[in-house]
Amino acid sequence: MIQLISVNKQYGQDIAALSDISLEIQDGEFVFLVGPSGSGKTTLIKMLIREELPTEGKIFFHDDDITRYNRRQVYALRRKIGVIFQDYKLIPELNAYENVAFAMEAAGRSDRDIKENVPYLLDIVGLSKRMHFFPRMLSGGEKQRVAIARAMANNPKLLIADEPTGNLDPDSAWDIVQILSKINNWGTTVIMSTHGSDIVNSLHKRVLRMEDGKLVRDDYRGSYDEVDEFSLKVLSESKNQAGKAALVQEQPKPEEAGTTEQTEQKQPVPAAPDHKDEEQAVQTQEPAADAETKPVTKASLKEERKKGRTAKAGSDLPVKSDKKSTKQTKKRKISFSTKKRRQRIRKNRTARWKKRFSNPLKKKLTDRTANHRIRLKKQNLHLKNQTWPWEQCLNARLRKPQNRFAEVAGWHGRLF
């Protein structure tokens, strides 16, 4: 997955941050990066996320040389890598939910994915009840958990943690490490730089130790130091216990041989089983099996029903006839929901009609045509009730009136 080949980094001519680093990290590994302050751990992490370029050497991520990436390729690379910083780097104006969602929005994820994944990520970290808390309302361990959830927002292939337990108490630090180990069990590669010797010694993962910019030690299932004090104590105690056990086995006691023979003689012989009792038990069980009821079928149920009908016919009780009763059936009761539905339909229907006929423009037009018809019927020639000229022309053309109105106007049934 990651391969570094002869990587060197110099600041000026005198300061060598990294010198001749060559290593390879496989998919799904959990790697501890240990060493004193100023040994080059942070510089190596910055090169993996392409924040800095090496002076010499090459860095490969999935067989691609990231030292030759342009700006667009660097953005795509950082979406595949999740980073957890020591100082959290949370946005103070956003709450925990919005800090995680912001990373997904920047990666171009849809709103549907954000709503589904952000509560799930905060639940993994143990902050489902504090997703609406702002960073000032959270403790140091809770802020670091939000940072882990933000780093896992885009499902990265590589997770880099730069001293995530440096500012935390031992209990909170152990919780963070357990979350990271859980993420590693899901298949994500984890690189964690730390100064906590207890954490490294308890997990027994791969350990890379750096000193003065050089890779000093690379141990699989290693410890913080080459051989720590706890392991020395365990080895010394195991050697002492093995020596005592060997001495006890070499000197067997003579009394034990005699006691074993006596126990073998005193063991009672098991009696032969009596077959007569078993035969009697089987005979007693056979009539019980015959007394069991027969399996129920449709034919048997029909026969029982017929028997019940004949028994009722012989008794004084009234028998229900198979024919349908000639009585008038009662009206079906209308449920409350159907009543409401019908009322709603009527209400909507009246609203539609009101809307249709309450248009002021249509009302004006209808009033005008009605008045015009009244005028034509009365053949009123007063100027107060006179209609518009275009209406007069239209009526004269269509009806060809032979009345006083047309004669006074001087048209004589012609328009033009």
- Given this model, what pLDDT does residue 43 score? 93
Which residues in the chain land under pLDDT 50?
Answer: 254-257, 259-264, 266-267, 269-273, 275-276, 278-279, 281-293, 312-326, 380-386, 390, 398-416
- Given this model, what pLDDT does residue 86 score? 84
Count Cβ atoms within 10 A of the Cβ of residue 44 and give its class: 0-12 exposed, 13-18 middle, 19 or more buried: buried
User: Is residue 269 classed as helix, strand or coil in its secondary structure?
Assistant: coil
Structure tokens, 178: 């357990």
Query: Rounded distance, CA 245 to CA 252, Å?
Result: 12
For residue 222, report the phi and psi dihedrals to the nearest 5 degrees: -100, -165
- Given this model, what pLDDT does residue 243 score? 64
- Given this model, what pLDDT does residue 189 score? 95
Identify how many contiguous H helices and E strands the chain contains and give both numbers: 15, 10
Neighbouring CB atoms inside 10 A of 70's CB total 7
- Residues 11-51 have pLDDT tens digits of 988 889 999 999 999 999 999 999 998 899 999 999 999 99
Structure tokens, 344: 């709603």
Strand order, beta sheet including 30-34? 81-84, 158-162, 189-193, 30-34, 206-211, 214-219
Query: Rounded distance, CA 154 to CA 168, Å?
Result: 26
- Residues 152-192 have pLDDT tens digits of 999 999 999 999 988 888 888 999 999 999 999 999 999 99
The single residue listed with the structure tokens 């009246």 is 350
DSSP-assigned states of every residue in 223-265: -SSSS-HHHHHHHHHHHHHHHHHHHHHHS--HHHHHHHHHHHH
CA angle (298 as vertex; 292, 299 as ends), nearest 5: 85
Q: Confirm if 64 and 18 have CB atoms less than 8 A apart.
A: no
- Given this model, what pLDDT does residue 379 score? 52
- Given this model, what pLDDT does residue 367 score? 58
Structure tokens, 3: 């391969």
User: Which residues neighbour 86 within 8 Å (Cβ) at sequence distance 6 or greater?
Assistant: 162, 163, 164, 166, 167
Neighbouring CB atoms inside 10 A of 167's CB total 15
- Given this model, what pLDDT does residue 132 score? 93
Query: Rounded distance, CA 395 to CA 391, Å?
Result: 6
Domains, in order of start, for the chain: 2-229 (3.40.50.300), 345-409 (no CATH)
